[in-house]
């Protein structure tokens, strides 16, 4: 989603029609990880189901992840059985209620972040976090794929010590397998919902993400 600084306003106007990610060949050339091929299927326009956000938060059913363009992270996290809703937004900065243009200026300190609501009775936080590490490259320090910049850095924003412990355990597993993980673990802060056109972007535009691809980094997937 990077655009030249002088064309930020134009980019914001055109974003609903544009794609933010690279081609699959670019990603494949950049990483030596074995890529899990995903079938391309036509998807109906997505409508988020109703949820009881307060109850989910009270029961530990909310998680926050930043791993590059939020379109791709949201797309794959929504496919987890037990995940009820995923929202794209911004976290980690100092400006209240930032816009996409604000965050893209790299002056607010925010990362493109997704908020994941999940049912703890159906899927654990650890399983959700594990999927996050499988769908983005946690070793890329300057962004994600072709999206370079501070708003595209890799981070897990945790809500309690249990989430921190689970995220740290996953990073240790990856490091034991030879990955130089740069993902930061930070306490969750204010989450600002992104503009409507960012929500469920790939499904609503019948597109497939190129920046994010499932990779068997933990060595335990079929």
Tell me the C-alpha distance between 187 and 150, whole Å: 18
Decide if pLDDT at 36 tops 60: no
Give alpha helix (H) positions in 48-118: 53-58, 70-77, 100-104
Cβ 65 vs Cβ 132: under 8 Å: yes
Is residue 112 within 8 Å of 88, Cβ to Cβ? yes
The total number of residues written for the chain in this structure: 222
pLDDT of residue 12: 38
Residue 206 has pLDDT above 70, yes or no: yes
Q: Residue 118 phi/psi, 5° resolution? A: -140, 160
Residue 180 has pLDDT above 80, yes or no: yes
Q: Per-residue DSSP letters for 138-203?
A: TT-SSEETTEESGGG-EEEEESSHHHHHHHHHHHHHHHHTT-----EEEE----EEPPGGGTTHHH
Beta bridge pairs of residue 85: 117
Per-residue pLDDT band at 204 (split at 50, 70, 90): confident
Q: Which two tokens stand for residue 117?
A: 């609501």
Catalytic residue numbers, as ranges? 69
Least confident of 72-76, 78-82, 137-141, 202-206: 202-206
> Which stretches within 17-52 are classed as H helix?
24-30
pLDDT bucket at 222, cuts 50 / 70 / 90: low
Question: Mean pLDDT in the chain?
Answer: 83
- Provide the pLDDT confidence category of residue 203 given band limits of 50, 70 and 90: confident
pLDDT band at 50 (very low <50, low <70, confident <90, very high): confident
Q: What is the pLDDT of residue 138?
A: 98
What DSSP designation does 106 have? T
> Across residues 94-111, what is the average pLDDT?
97
Q: Which helix (H) or strand (E) holds 86?
A: strand 83-91
Pick from 43-52, 53-62, 162-171, 173-182: least confident:
43-52
Give CATH for domain 24-204.
3.30.1060.10
pTM for the structure as a whole: 0.79
At 33 the pLDDT is 44
Q: Structural domain boundaries of the chain? A: 24-204
């Amino acid at each position: 989603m990077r655009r030249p600084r002088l064309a930020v306003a134009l980019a914001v106007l055109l974003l609903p029609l544009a794609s933010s990610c690279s081609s699959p060949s670019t990603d494949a050339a950049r990483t030596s990880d074995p890529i899990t091929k995903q079938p391309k299927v036509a998807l109906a326009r997505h409508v988020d189901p109703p949820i009881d956000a307060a109850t989910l938060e009270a029961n530990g059913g909310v998680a926050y992840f930043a791993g590059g363009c939020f379109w791709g992270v949201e797309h794959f996290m929504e496919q987890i059985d037990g995940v009820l809703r995923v929202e794209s937004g911004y976290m980690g900065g100092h400006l209240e209620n930032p816009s996409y243009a604000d965050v893209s200026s790299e002056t607010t300190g925010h990362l493109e972040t997704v908020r994941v609501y999940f049912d703890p009775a159906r899927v654990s936080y650890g399983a959700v976090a594990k999927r996050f590490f499988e769908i983005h490259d946690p070793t890329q320090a300057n962004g994600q794929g072709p999206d370079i910049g501070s708003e595209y850095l890799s981070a897990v924003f945790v809500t309690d010590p249990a989430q921190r412990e689970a995220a740290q355990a996953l990073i240790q597993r990856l490091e034991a397998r030879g990955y130089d993980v740069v993902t930061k673990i930070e306490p969750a802060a204010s989450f600002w919902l992104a503009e409507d056109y960012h929500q469920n972007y790939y499904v609503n535009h019948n597109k497939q993400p190129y920046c994010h691809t499932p990779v068997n980094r933990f060595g335990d997937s079929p």
